[in-house]
Amino acid sequence: MHDLLEKPATAPTSTAAVEIRNVSFNYGSSQALKDITLDLKKNEVTAFIGPSGCGKSTLLRCINRMNDEIVGTRITQGEILVEGINIHHPSVDVVKLRRDVGMVFQKSNPFPSSIFENVAFGLRMRGERNNAVIAQTVEESLKAAALWDEVKDRLQESALGLSGGQQQRLCIARTIAVKPLVVLMDEPCSALDPIATAKVEELVWNLKHDYTFVIVTHNMQQAARVSDRTAFFYMGELIEFSDTKRMFSNPRVRKTEEYITGRFG
């Protein structure tokens, strides 16, 4: 049962997991997003690319209302629907929204507790008390995150003892343990070596059958490798949003071409 929907995840709605409709966003008087409209399709990976300050992370954080925590910020127009539900509707519980729209950050942020408890945290928060269910879900989540074989004999050890790549995969396991609808990833591999990066990418590719992913990345090759669709942002505007293969072989907009080929002045 999803917190946001209060209905089974299998209940069919639209083909878009997230619908972003004419969203503009301000940090104080500075406009960070300008009239953004795009759909994030279910069971697809969507990459957000663009130069620093273009608004891609801001938009990502709008999807689970993380920007609510920043004083002086607000959506000045438009709406965001997750599975058809307006996330700004007064009846929506933000904590529950963030369980259904999970987030993995640039720097892995495991809690200072055991590996097991890191993954079990969301389940316990949701009120799950059956230890057998928790243990089974932790195992399933760690297996899905391709971490089980590496940690199964030390589940009670501190998560802080894991390598950077392992910590990031633990954070992914923690996110998917509560069966979210959407997983937001903000430069999840920027601090990882190529092997750890490949493991995260493999993970995203395999998990997209069960989840919808949005990944913010500065790595063009990563966007090309792992995403189905790519959105290019520049100065708060959505410049181009298309199939990833098309975006990296024949972009429609000159500015996109200049950015992805490294000609951006």
Smallest separation (angstroms) from another protein to the CB of 81: 21
Length of the chain: 265
- At residue 6's C-alpha, the angle toward residues 121 and 78, to 5°, is 95
Give the interface segment with another protein, choosing from 42-50, 84-92, 173-181, 218-226 (CB under 8 A).
Answer: 218-226
Give the interface segment with another protein, choosing from 23-31, 132-140, 232-240, 250-258 (CB under 8 A).
Answer: 250-258
Answer for which of 59, 224, 226, 238 binds another protein (CB under 8 A) is 224
Q: Is 243 in the site for another protein (CB under 8 A)?
A: yes
Q: Is 154 in the site for another protein (CB under 8 A)?
A: no
Q: In what order do the strands lie in the sheet with 85-86?
A: 30-41, 16-27, 73-82, 85-86
Classify each residue of 179-188 as buried b or exposed e, where b means 16 or more C-beta atoms within 10 Å of its C-beta.
Answer: bbbbbbbbbb
**Residue among 157 and 243 whose Cβ is closer to another protein:** 243
Answer for which of 88, 109, 220, 237 binds another protein (CB under 8 A) is 220
DSSP H helical ranges for the chain: 56-63, 94-100, 115-125, 131-144, 148-151, 164-176, 194-207, 220-226, 244-249, 254-260
**Residue among 75 and 247 whose Cβ is closer to another protein:** 247
Q: Is 201 in the site for another protein (CB under 8 A)?
A: no
Q: Is 43 in the site for another protein (CB under 8 A)?
A: no
Q: Is 261 in the site for another protein (CB under 8 A)?
A: yes
Answer for which of 213, 233, 234, 248 binds another protein (CB under 8 A) is 248
Give the interface segment with another protein, choosing from 118-126, 133-141, 208-216, 244-252 (CB under 8 A).
Answer: 244-252
CB 147 within 8 A of CB 204: no
Q: Is 244 in the site for another protein (CB under 8 A)?
A: yes
Single-letter amino acid, residue 218:
H
Give the Cα separation of 115 and 162 in Å (integer).
9
How many residues of this chain bind another protein (CB under 8 A)?
21
Q: Is 262 in the site for another protein (CB under 8 A)?
A: yes
Give the Cα separation of 18 and 186 in Å (integer).
17
Give the Cα separation of 55 and 53 in Å (integer).
6
Q: Is 152 in the site for another protein (CB under 8 A)?
A: no
User: What is the torsion angle, in degrees rounded to the nearest 10, for the CA atoms of residue 81, residue 224, residue 258 and residue 185?
Assistant: 40
Residues that bind another protein (CB under 8 A): 220-221, 224, 242-251, 257-258, 260-265
